[in-house]
Chain A
């Protein structure tokens, strides 16, 4: 799986958009970009994933650059409950795969 790099921590004001970047310059053509988050003392939660097109769901939007070397997770209106560690992971489509977590980005939403 391709290695991803994320900032260690970020702050965001409540109600504003939180933009979390992820670099995955070695991603291969059939690797998806997945985002999970982990709120303190809970199990990780799936947020969104995409291959090359931008994706949106009820939780977030995922913007992937045209060269696929980086992506941005956007939480449009951050709330205090969005304070969590966010993980960006590159995974092959289909078949057997293990989700392995890096350090992630600790997002602190500030009142």
Chain B
């Protein structure tokens, strides 16, 4: 099956700094990628939809200036958490869809801890 990778798998950063998370589709081209956030013991919450070559679409309540998304190629989307605060500590997961696929393929997730 299709593989989606994320880097890094874990990151610890200090409050006020920015962190970039990469999401790559390894063996297929993804026109659309999605970013989710998951707090402990909660379900995944969709943050934004990223389309290659265009601006991301953010879900209600998600600050677009804080969570910068770039989908510059058909195999890479990045999420940058700017001026991170402890409340941004969470499990961030991306997923990718190909042109002819109904299924979404999810990455393994990135654990962000802001101290």
Contact = CB atoms under 8 A, between A and B. Distances in A.
Interface of A: 32, 34, 36, 38, 41-46, 49, 85, 87, 91, 93-94, 96, 98-104
Interface of B: 1, 4, 6, 32, 34, 36, 43-46, 49, 91, 93, 95, 102-109, 111
B34 A101 contact: no
Contact of B106 (A34, A44, A85, A93): A44
Given A49-B103, A98-B49, A99-B34, A43 B43 contact: no
Contact of A49 (B34, B102, B106, B107): B102
A101 B43 CA distance: 7
B102 A41 contact: no
Nearest to B106: A43
A100 to B, nearest CB: 6
A43 B49 contact: no
B109 A101 contact: no
The residue in A85, A87, A96, A104 that gathers the most chain B C-beta atoms within 10 A of its C-beta is: A96
B102 A44 contact: no
Contact of A98 (B46, B91, B108): B46
The residue in A32, A43, A85 that gathers the most chain B C-beta atoms within 10 A of its C-beta is: A43
A44 B34 contact: no
Nearest to B100: A94
B69 to A, nearest CB: 14
23 contacts: A32-B102, A34-B103, A38-B44, A41-B91, A41-B109, A42-B109, A43-B93, A43-B95, A43-B108, A43-B109, A44-B106, A46-B106, A49-B102, A87-B43, A91-B102, A93-B102, A94-B102, A96-B32, A98-B34, A99-B95, A101-B36, A101-B43, A101-B45
